[in-house]
Structure 1
Amino acid sequence: MLHEYKEIISKLKVENPHFAKIFEKHNELDDKIQKAESGKAPLDALELDKLKREKLALKDEAYAMILEYKKANNL
């Protein structure tokens, strides 16, 4: 997720427990989605769509926190 901000993400994961939780949950959802799409985990289309929406919402929240960090630190 947001690989171009790898350095900031590393700092935020240590400095901000909420960000770390969002990041972890995003990765968990990504894993579930990949397993479902590859046929390794049974999910119907509605469940899969729900997971994708939740993952996107977490990514949006994390991105907003990254932008806030950049602004606060003049990066």
Structure 2
Amino acid sequence: MHIEHHDLYHDFPEYLDSIHALKAASQPFGEMYDEYHQLTREVERLEEEDLPVDDFTIETMKKQRLLLKDQMYRMLVAYKNSD
């Protein structure tokens, strides 16, 4: 099974510098970043290893990850526009 990786650097290459800066300067962004990547690793592990888990659990994790990604994107845009 091919698993698509969802890291922020791949999804938002135009914000690489902003991601690094916000991780260092903003505790909320750093915490969201860590949670996002932890969820991503867990979802990918479950999918790659084809572990028995109900669809509701995986979908809930993916929705939570998407919410974090949206919040971080808004922070990245605001940060980049403040320069």
Report the TM-score when normalising by structure 1: 0.89
Report the TM-score when normalising by structure 2: 0.81
Letter in 2 for 1:30: T
Contact 1:32 1:41 in 2 (8 A): no
Letter in 1 for 2:47: E
Q: Which residue of 1 aligns with 2:82?
A: 72
- Tell me which moved more, 11-20 or 32-41: 32-41
Distance in 2 (alpha carbons) for counterparts of 1:28 and 1:55: 9
Q: Structure 1: which 5+ residue stretches go unaligned?
A: none
| Stretches of 4+ aligned residues off by more than 3 angstroms | none
Q: Which residue of 1 aligns with 2:25?
A: 15
Distance in 2 (alpha carbons) for counterparts of 1:12 and 1:41: 35
Letter in 2 for 1:37: E
2:68 maps to which of 34, 45, 58: 58
Give the CA deviation at 1:43: 2.1
Kindly report the root-mean-square deviation, in angstroms, between the aligned alpha carbons of the 2 structures.
Answer: 1.2
Identity %: 26
